[in-house]
Amino acid sequence: MARKIRIGMIGYGYWGPNLTRNFAELAQAELVAVADQDLNRLNSVRTRYPNITLTQDYTDLFKMDLDACVVATPPQTHYTIARDCLEHGLHTLVEKPLTLESKTSFELYKLAHERDLRLMVGHTFLYNSTVRALKDLIDEGEFGNIFYMDAVRVNLGLYQKHCDVMWDLAPHDISIFMYLMGEVPNTVSASGGSFLVPNKHDVAYLSLSFPSGKLAHIHASWINPNKERRITIVGNKKMAVYDDLQTVERIKIFDKGVDAPPYTDTFADFQFSYRYGDVISPYIDFIEPLRVEAQHFVDCIVNHWTPLSDGKNGLDVVRILEAADKSIALGGATVECSQYSLDEEVRVPAAI
């Protein structure tokens, strides 16, 4: 029997326990150790997994004959820890965002490439069966030509210490949009407000433009009265609303549309024809996204596959967030996303 993939977990705060549970339950993986600086967090691991090694120093994991590490520490620590893991020959799954700068994300992507290691980013929604069902519907042409997508990801809290709301929440929607659209935005304009803590945005609005001309918009907030997790997709044939807070009927597909007249001279508006049809909600068999994500990471290691959310995907999300930061600083100006080429190893401006 093939050896199980030996995994070390780094960071056992809010999110780490979810990843740990999923890796611990995978048949092809063996959870060997958990590292967390905080002794209280390690004590709570002990209760649940009595037989694994615990350490406050993550570099101890490098002496344990591991195959891979999973990094679920705060974003500002990702670069150093992930680089250490890769330099020690370990396949590495890093939580989102990959790092807080495109330069360091590119370094990790390049390092993994040079060492022939799998670098994967925890863009969880790419492993979510509802998002995957939407992707299938889009690819089958259910919505026709996509015009735009819109995301609302707002709630009251959880306020993060080391990054703002955009870097905390928008990676989800950016990764979802790139996956659904099948392309990477080339320009971004954004605005943000720091209402509670100076210089730390607690609300952000991002507009993304894609090379094909499609648009996407993201509203992220930690200071909204109610929690919303909603994505709207508008195509020329059909439209959809995906509400991630629903336990059933997460996607509603509207057979609605507008047909423009063949030409638009006088009174053209009156000739638009609006279509109102059925609303259907397809059944989706829900599997915990983190289970699919954990299994995919192990499958990629075993089969030498490139992860769906690989280092390049992580770098793309960070490039877009960085351009959005620049746009906010410029008062909402349209900013091109920087581009990195693995071949040339140079940073070149995006061509539009």
| Inter-residue contact 217 to 153 (CB < 8 Å) | no
Our CA dihedral for 43, 5, 75, 98, rounded to 10 degrees, sits at: -170
- Beta-sheet strand order (sheet of 215-221): 273-280, 251-259, 239-243, 223-235, 146-156, 215-221, 203-209, 187-193, 335-336
- In the range 181-240, which residues lie near ligand NAD by CB under 6 A? none
Q: What is the dihedral sign for C-alpha 263, 266, 269, 273? A: negative
**Residue from 67, 84, 95, 310 in contact with ligand NAD (CB under 6 A):** 95
Q: Considering the rule CB under 6 A, would residue 73 count as an interface residue with ligand NAD? A: yes
Site string for ligand NAD, 98-137 (x = CB under 6 A): ------------------------x-x-------------
Minimum CB–partner distance for residue 275 and ligand NAD (Å):
37
Residues in binding contact with ligand NAD, number by CB under 6 A: 22
The nearest distance, CB 218 to ligand NAD, in angstroms, is 15
Name which position in 5, 7, 9, 10 contacts ligand NAD (CB under 6 A).
10
User: Could you say which of 21, 24, 30, 37 contacts ligand NAD (CB under 6 A)?
Assistant: 37
Residue nearest to ligand NAD (CB): 13
Q: How many CA atoms lie within 13 A of 12 on its CB side?
A: 26
Phi first, then psi: give them for residue 153, nearest 5 degrees.
-130, 90
Please report whether residue 75 would count as binding ligand NAD according to CB under 6 A: yes
Site membership for ligand NAD, residue 58 (CB under 6 A): yes
- Shortest separation between residue 232's beta carbon and ligand NAD, angstroms: 21
Query: Which among 11-19, 183-191, 221-229, 279-287 is the span making contact with ligand NAD, rule CB under 6 A?
Result: 11-19
What is the number of other CB atoms lying within 10 angstroms of the CB of residue 108? 24
Residue 21's contacts (CB-CB under 8 Å, 6 or more residues apart) are: none
Q: Would you call 102 helix, strand, or coil by DSSP?
A: helix
Q: How far is the CB of 69 from ligand NAD (least distance, A)?
A: 11
Q: Which of 5, 7, 9, 12 binds ligand NAD (CB under 6 A)?
A: 12
Cα(first)–Cα(last) distance of the chain, in Å?
52
Write down how long the chain is.
Answer: 352
SS3 state of residue 60: helix
Only segment of 34-42, 127-135, 298-306, 332-340 that touches ligand NAD (CB under 6 A): 34-42
Q: At what angle do helices 165-181 and 129-139 cross, to 10 degrees?
A: 40
Using the contact rule CB under 6 A, the part of the chain among 9-17, 135-143, 194-202, 238-246 near ligand NAD is: 9-17
Q: Which is nearer to ligand NAD, 162 or 275 (CB)?
A: 162
CA angle 152, 153, 155 (to 5 degrees): 125
Considering only residues 77, 129, 194, 236, which one is a binding residue for ligand NAD as defined by CB under 6 A?
A: 77
Interactions with ligand NAD, residue window 14-33 (CB under 6 A) = 14-16
Q: Are 147 and 213 in contact (CB under 8 A)?
A: no
Residues that bind ligand NAD (CB under 6 A): 10-16, 35-38, 41, 58, 72-75, 77, 95-96, 122, 124
